[in-house]
């Protein structure tokens, strides 16, 4: 579910237009290393030799057919240790015949990869009219391709359920009371790095002053057009005791990656950009991040995303992800919350009951407040947000529940610095408060291990 426009938002997260399972125009594939082992390197070979080079016939022919028919329009290596490869080489940018250009791109994805685990990954830009699933199936059948898949759609798991005025105060943050924020001494978490991969952030917001250590928006603008990322960041780290606005749960060092494009898709909604997203997940592993907030989701499995989640888990990083808001629309299992190693978060309402939209399943870890959650929004309007969605507003969704837990994970790490991601998860579950629906059970597929309890988690 993308953030609908102001005129489209529904209080029940229902009656929205159908959303695509897959993003049009993109396929990710992984080429086997030995397939491109003999492709010459254009940086170390005379141009004439490069122009004559191409990959083995078994993989070249199906690719050439798809390129000639204009189904594949461009290709670029996904992970490269050469910064310039984020812009080149792409199939279009190289002054080479298509056979030699695609050979260079595929070879670069192996030769210049940042790590062994990520070798051979290539993003293919395909025609909007092409069926990405069918194209991926054709590629999968080619010798030399380890796997190929269409890109599952991912979208923010939030929406506005009511309008609020411009006078937000601490006593309006019911979620803080629900998680016993006021009942314990909150430790200084400035040494803990928390990543938010989202629609961006408005660093000019006075309640986020000094909260952001790094903001990577790639080739997109710095503007948070949708506002979702700014809202999520405020729940985690809005400044406290500054005589303005609201209070965030913790004060970690925020690292922001914008993973959404500036322009909406053809249906008018915003979806995760696969290249920005996957590169951000990988960058998290190399920047000392301890906690990642992913308030996004979609119902289709992504093999490359799963690979990166395994690596994040191996590195001991806590990945906190939204369960999704589709309970009343069939309650599908959504990703990335559905990946092994994630800390999947459901939402409760003011009555300590599961929010009606909050998805359920055996992968849920615990729950947190997610209805009518007040937080920061960009200071200026955009094409997506009108004047009621600036500065502060209350939004609902598992997107809002997730940063409550991401902030709590940062606080736990101030007391248990040696914890890895799975130990943080177990600690959150062990200290969660029982909810009425649990009836004495330690876990239910409705709310997981219960409600986030910051007091117990820090005791």
Active-site option among 85, 205, 217, 228: 228
Task: From the candidates 399, 404, 427, 453, give the one annotated as an active-site residue.
Answer: 399
69 is catalytic: no
Q: Is 198 a catalytic residue?
A: yes
Which is the catalytic residue, given 198, 202, 224, 302? 198
What would the 3-class secondary structure string for the chain be?
CCCCCCCCCCCCCCCCCCCCCEEEEEEEEEECHHHHCCCCCCCCCCHHHHHHCCCCHHHHHHHHHHHHCCCEEEEEECCCCCHHHHCCCCCCCCCCCHHHHHHHHHHHHHHCCCCHHHCCEEEEEECCCCCHHHHHHHHHCCCCEEEEEEEECCEECCEECCCCCCCCCHHHCHHHHHCCHHHCCCCCCCCCEEEEEECCCCCCCHHHCCCEEEEECCCCCCCCCCCHHHHHHHHHHCCCCCCCCCCCCCCCEEEEEECCCCCCCCCCCCCCCHHHHHHHHHHHCCCCCCEEEECEEECCCCHHHHHHHHHHHHCCCEEEEECCCCHHHCCCCCECCCCCCEEEEEEECCCCCECCCCCCCCCEEEEEECCCEEEECCCCCCCCCCHHHCCEEEEECHHHHHHHHHHHHHHHHHHCCCCCHHHHHHHHHHCCECCHHHCCCCCECCCECCECCHHHHHC
* Active-site residue, 228 included: yes
Residues with catalytic function = 198, 228, 399
């Amino acid at each position: 579910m993308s953030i609908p426009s102001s005129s489209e938002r529904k209080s029940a997260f229902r009656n929205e237009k159908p959303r695509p399972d897959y993003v049009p125009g993109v396929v990710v594939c992984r080429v086997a290393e030995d397939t491109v082992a003999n492709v010459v390197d254009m940086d170390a070979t005379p141009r004439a030799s490069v122009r004559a080079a191409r990959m083995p016939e078994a993989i070249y022919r199906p690719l050439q057919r798809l390129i000639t028919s204009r189904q594949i329009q461009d290709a670029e290596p996904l992970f490269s240790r050469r910064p310039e490869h984020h812009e080149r080489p792409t199939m279009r940018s190289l002054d080479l015949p298509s056979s030699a250009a695609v050979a260079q791109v595929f070879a670069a994805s192996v030769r210049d990869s940042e790590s062994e685990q990520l070798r051979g990954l290539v993003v293919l830009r395909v025609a909007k009219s092409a069926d990405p699933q069918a194209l991926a199936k054709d590629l999968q059948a080619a010798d030399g391709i380890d796997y190929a898949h269409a890109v599952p759609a991912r979208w923010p798991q939030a929406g506005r359920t009511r309008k609020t005025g411009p006078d937000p105060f601490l006593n309006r943050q019911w979620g803080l009371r629900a998680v016993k924020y006021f009942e314990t001494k909150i430790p200084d978490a400035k040494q803990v790095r928390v990543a938010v991969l989202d629609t961006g952030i408005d660093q000019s917001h006075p309640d986020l002053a000094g909260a952001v250590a790094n903001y990577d928006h790639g080739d997109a603008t710095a503007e948070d057009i949708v506002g979702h990322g700014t809202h999520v960041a405020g729940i985690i780290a809005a400044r406290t005791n500054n005589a303005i606005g609201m209070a965030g749960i913790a004060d970690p060092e925020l690292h922001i990656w914008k993973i959404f494009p500036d322009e909406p898709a053809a249906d008018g909604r915003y979806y995760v950009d696969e290249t920005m997203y996957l590169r951000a997940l990988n960058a998290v592993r190399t920047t000392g991040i301890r906690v990642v907030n992913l308030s996004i989701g979609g119902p289709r499995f992504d093999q490359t995303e799963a690979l990166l989640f395994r690596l994040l888990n191996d590195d001991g990083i806590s990945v906190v992800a939204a369960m999704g808001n589709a309970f009343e629309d069939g309650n599908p299992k959504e990703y990335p919350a559905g990946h092994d190693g994630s800390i999947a978060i459901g939402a409760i309402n003011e009555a300590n009951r599961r929010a009606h939209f909050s998805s359920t399943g055996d992968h849920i870890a615990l729950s947190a407040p997610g209805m009518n959650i007040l937080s920061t929004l960009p200071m200026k309007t955009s094409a997506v947000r009108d004047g009621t969605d600036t500065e502060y507003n209350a939004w609902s969704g598992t997107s809002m529940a997730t940063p409550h837990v991401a902030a709590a994970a940062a606080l736990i790490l101030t007391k248990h610095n040696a914890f890895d991601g799975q130990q943080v998860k177990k600690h959150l579950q062990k200290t969660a408060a029982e909810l009425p629906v649990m009836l004495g059970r330690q876990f239910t597929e409705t709310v997981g291990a219960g409600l986030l309890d910051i007091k117990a988690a820090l005791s």
